[in-house]
A and B are shown apart, each in its own frame.
Chain A
Amino acid sequence: MSASTFREIARNGVWKQNTSLVQLLGLCPLLAVSATFVNGVSLAIATIFVMALSSGVVASVRNFIPHEIRIPVFILIIAALVTMVDLAMNAWLHELYLVLGIFIPLIVVNCIVLARVEAFAAKNTPLAAAWDGAMMGVGMVAAIAVLGGLRELIGTGMLFSGIEMVIPGARALQLLPEDYPGFLVAILPPGAFLVLGFLIAGRNWLDARAARRARPVTPVQAPA
């Protein structure tokens, strides 16, 4: 597997096939936990773990899985890994676990995990598959970081609230003035859809601009 393949996988995961902004898969946790930056990024990092692990594991046993029962086996593997991540977080990141609560088990049914396992890991080497899973997860982290950061900033005027659950001693930043009244809708579920809509539009705009710059503008033929 050459370095360029790995670069291509990374580009796919983070930008071209970004799960949250292009494929629009796995939006349930994305929208639900992105009210603050810290919650969103933490869940996305847990998702990276699960995706890299499950893709790697599936790819390494792919030759032993009969085609007709591949989906039960994939789901078994994903569910087992999520269970382990869930237990590990409960044990060693308890405060964060209390916040993310129900969303960690929900990684099991995050369709993006099964989608990558089925579409990529089942046909590739373990290393490439784990890298693909991780990069898809990184794409999700990037999207959720921007989404959560914007929602939190617009909604409360702060950034990184709850960071002390992850890094003891760290403090949230008050970016807007103390007397910023807050903009409630940004933190409520509808705000997630609104901000996500703007993010998708922004990403499409960047792509369109890049495409315009890449190829020289061909003069339009004037009608005769």
Chain B
Amino acid sequence: MSDPTAARVSLRTAAILTVFTVTFTTLMAATYQATKPAIEASAEEGRMKLVGEVLPTHLYDNALLTDYVEVSPRAGLGLDAQDDPARVFRARKAGAPAALVFEAVAPDGYSGKIRLLVAIGADNHVIGVRVVSHRETPGLGDYIEPKKDRNKASPWIRQFDAAGFGKVAAAEWKVKKDGGRFDSRAGATISARAVTGAVRRALQFAADNRDRLYGLPAKSSLSPEGEKT
């Protein structure tokens, strides 16, 4: 037999590579199909669990995760223009407004953005705040996350609970080091300052836009000028 030509060898090799590609792509696609329901369920459960930490379930009775309004990044919740719009979930009890749950962002963390969930009651006080993601220094700035907070009895983030502009004026809604009313830990003020500011902005936004937020249909969006986009 003479030497096979280069073209023949390439064709044969390409065919083998194709067989491998098809086989393993099939395996991957099958795994994807098999795991998809479980992945979607756990993502949903994860969101519910997080929302449940800021807003006790007995305070609302609607399908909270689908009843949201998207707020444009320019609207003062701390987002950058390239961010996705923040969602504001509208909790209702027997049809009446109960609370707003904000996806807020503190852009000025020590190490990038701190993402928060802030639940604000109908009477404009904070029901709960939780850090969703952050990259603050482990062991130093990460006390903003209650799991990492060494003070388990009263984690730092809980001092916002039940606070509102009625109790703490907007001008005093700062860490004590900046002349405000909220504690921070020595050596890690930046993280606390960032979170405090983000909570203040969410409160302010809720106070200014509550009726408009509730007036919009679910899954619509709110732009800063109040025009529907």
Contacts and interface: CB of A to CB of B under 8 A. Distances in A.
Interface of A: 35, 61, 64-66, 68-69, 72-73, 76-77, 80, 83-84, 87-88, 90-92, 94, 98, 155-156, 182, 184, 187-188
Nearest to A89: B35
A66 B11 CA distance: 12
A76 B138 contact: no
Given A80-B24, A155-B139, 8 more contacts: A35-B138, A65-B16, A73-B20, A77-B20, A84-B28, A87-B31, A92-B38, A184-B140
Given A66-B16, A72-B17, A80 B42 contact: no
A76 B35 contact: no
Interface of B: 12-13, 16-17, 20-21, 24-25, 27-28, 31-32, 35, 38-39, 42-43, 45-46, 137-140
Output the residue of B20, B21, B25, B45 with the most chain A CB within 10 A: B20
Contacts of A88: 31, 35
Given A72-B17, A184-B140, A187-B139, A94 B42 contact: yes
B20 A68 contact: no
B139 A182 contact: yes
Contacts of A155: 138-139
Contacts of B43: 94
Given A69-B17, A94-B42, A83 B31 contact: yes
B42 A187 contact: no
A77 B35 contact: no
17 contacts: A61-B20, A65-B20, A66-B12, A66-B13, A69-B16, A69-B17, A72-B17, A87-B31, A87-B32, A90-B35, A91-B35, A91-B38, A92-B38, A94-B39, A94-B42, A156-B139, A187-B139
B228 to A, nearest CB: 35
Contacts, number: 62
A83 B38 CA distance: 16
Contacts of B25: 80
Nearest to B23: A80
Among all A-B residue pairs, the 10 with the closest Cβ atoms? A91-B38, A91-B35, A80-B24, A94-B42, A84-B31, A87-B35, A91-B39, A187-B138, A90-B39, A184-B139
Contacts of B16: 64-66, 69
Given A68-B13, A77-B24, A87 B139 contact: no
Contacts of B21: 76
B17 A94 contact: no
B139 A80 contact: no
A104 B20 CA distance: 23
A128 to B, nearest CB: 22
A90 B17 CA distance: 29
Contacts of A73: 17, 20
B142 to A, nearest CB: 10
Contacts of B38: 91-92
B186 to A, nearest CB: 12
Q: Which of B12, B13, B25, B43 has the most CB of A within 10 A?
A: B13
A184 B42 contact: no
A186 to B, nearest CB: 9
Contacts of A83: 28, 31
A184 B224 CA distance: 43
Contacts of B46: 94, 98
A155 B139 CA distance: 8
